[in-house]
Amino acid sequence: METGPDSLFVTLLFLLHSSHSESEKFEVLGPTDPIVVVAGDDIILPCYLKPNISAEDMTVDWLNLDFLDGRVYRYQNRKIIQDNQITSYTGRTSLFEEELWRGNTSLKLTRVQGTDEGLYKCFIKAKSWDHDLIIQVLVKAVGSKPVVSIEGHREGGMGLLCESEGWHPQPELVWLDSKGVHLSAGPPETHRDFKGFYTVKQHVIVQETDTNRFTCRVQQSLINEKMETEVHLPSELFDYTTPWKRTSIVLCCLGAITMIGFSLAICCIHNKKGNVDMI
């Protein structure tokens, strides 16, 4: 065995060469099935190099393909690059930097929200080679129990409003009678907040039934979730005589005041005429 400086040089050269050719070709691997995540949780988006060479001197880019501009995360020149980060990801992303040396470029995303849903690209670039992986992330959020409010008499029935918030994906709202029959309701109103969660609401006008029970159901079949609230309206609410009586009384009063006014006016005119006669 030679142990001179020449052989050391050859060994070094060999090591350098092999590490260089290794860093030239790699695959980026990760899950092939979509990742389903519950809103509010922290998740890891797995991504790693095969062979498991170091990514410490590579550029690691995480992108959400739904956003045309900006990045979820960038690691380059052994530093985290904050420029051009999509604002909704600020303060919620990190790599496992202690894992980079063995080719683990998984992303940690905290407090998952609706806007995080989408296709993510894990893109790894070495000096003369790059490769990427696409991961689908689905965000699931079950909204609040629907809140039903009574809006009063409307077009010959009773107006009700149902509202539920915090859903993802966008849910469907239906109004049902006590037999589970769909009631025809007003147009559904949907609002998406800045975190990407949906609020739905819908007005309905119900007629008196033998039970006076009505249900508002908010459901999302993709995530197989539903929330519902049943209301029982006392039948007195449907009693139309009360407001009618009130209206009659008001009309009667108005009539009486008008009559008194008329009488007074006639009296005055009569008196004036009398005065004129007297002159």
Backbone conformation region of residue 27, classed left if phi is above 0, alpha if psi is from -120 to 50, else beta: beta
- Minimum separation from the CB atom of position 101 to ligand NAG (A): 7
Task: For residue 261, give the 3-state DSSP assignment.
Answer: helix
- We find the least distance from the C-beta atom of residue 18 to ligand NAG, in angstroms, to be 15
Rounded to whole angstroms, the Cα distance separating 233 from 158 reads 9
Nearest by Cα to 237 from 150, 163, 177, 171:
150
- Per-residue interface string for the shown chain with ligand NAG, residues 35-74, x marking contact by CB under 6 A: ---------x-x-x---x----------------------
Assigned token pair, 90: 């600020």
Separation in Å, CA 49 to CA 148, 219, 245: 53, 41, 80
DSSP secondary structure code for residue 114 in this structure: G
Asked if 99 interacts with ligand NAG (CB under 6 A), we say yes
Q: How far apart are CA 201 and CA 149, in angstroms?
A: 11
Minimum CB distance to ligand NAG smaller for 46 or for 159: 46
Is 102 a residue that touches ligand NAG (CB under 6 A)?
yes
Cβ 126 to ligand NAG shortest distance, Å = 17
Tell me which stretch binds ligand NAG (CB under 6 A): 12-20, 99-107, 223-231, 244-252. 99-107
* 43 closest CA partner among 92, 103, 102: 92
Minimum distance of ligand NAG from residue 133's CB (angstroms): 12
- Looking at residue 81, its amino acid is I
- Counting residues that bind ligand NAG (by CB under 6 A) gives 9
**22 counts as binding ligand NAG under rule CB under 6 A:** no
| Residue from 23, 93, 106, 164 binding ligand NAG (CB under 6 A) | 106
Structure tokens at 72: 């979820």
How buried is residue 183: exposed, middle or buried, by Cβ count under 10 Å (0-12/13-18/19+)?
middle
From the list 35-43, 96-104, 131-139, 238-246, the region that binds ligand NAG by CB under 6 A is 96-104
- Least gap, CB of 88 to ligand NAG (angstroms): 23
Task: Please report how close the Cβ of residue 99 comes to ligand NAG at its closest, in angstroms.
Answer: 4
Chain residue whose CB lies nearest ligand NAG: 102
The residue (of 31 and 255) whose beta carbon lies closer to ligand NAG is 31
Which residue lies nearer to ligand NAG by CB, 73 or 167? 73
How many Å apart are CA 42 and CA 141, to the nearest integer? 14
Q: Which is nearer to ligand NAG, 102 or 270 (CB)?
A: 102
Nearer to ligand NAG (CB atom), residue 19 or residue 52: 52
Q: State the minimum distance, in angstroms, from the CB of residue 206 to ligand NAG.
A: 53
Amino acid at residue number 247: T
Sheet of 147-154: strand order equals: 147-154, 157-167, 198-206, 189-192
Q: For strands 35-38 and 130-140, give the pairing.
A: parallel
Q: Which residues lie near ligand NAG (CB under 6 A)?
A: 44, 46, 48, 52, 96, 99, 102, 104, 106
